[in-house]
Amino acid sequence: MNVARNFMLLGSVFLIIGIVIGMYMGGSGDHGLSVSHAHINLLCFTLSAVFALTYKTFPAMAEGVLARAHFWLHLVGAVMVNLLLFLMLVNVMTEAAMVPLAPISELLVLLGVLAFGWNVWKNAQ
């Protein structure tokens, strides 16, 4: 798996969604999706782009199970976090109903970042 390319592709898809939501908010004057927009753009696009550039800068990091685990954990976790957040903001789901899916998805993102941090420690040189 080309982890750097996959993270950049993932980030680009998220950026398109984030910008569309931003344009909707700007056009409608309804800023109710601001938190969703912020996390799609920052947690999903910006972090994915930073991850992609890091894996490209330190190729040793891109080999092995830590990088692959990080990619899948971030993909699944970030999509779930943002889907739940979006459903809450459009009043389809209450905050209480987000348990236990929300903490699980946050944990997936965190585990991915732990794999990334450990990989930086071991292989970023």
**Between 15 and 68, CB nearer to ligand HEM:** 15
CA distance linking residue 33 with residue 21, whole number of Å: 7
Hey, which residues between 57 and 96 contact ligand HEM (CB under 6 A)? 81
Peptide bond into 100 cis (omega under 30): yes
CA distance linking residue 4 with residue 52, whole number of Å: 4
Please give the single-letter amino acid code of residue 108. L
Among 26, 59, 64, 117, binds ligand HEM (CB under 6 A): 26
31 near ligand HEM, judged by CB under 6 A: yes
Q: How many CB atoms lie within 10 A of CB 125?
A: 7
In angstroms, what is the C-alpha Rg of the chain? 16
**Between 22 and 58, CB nearer to ligand HEM:** 22
106 near ligand HEM, judged by CB under 6 A: yes
Binding site for ligand HEM (CB under 6 A): 19, 22-23, 25-26, 31, 34-35, 37-39, 41-43, 45-47, 81, 106, 109
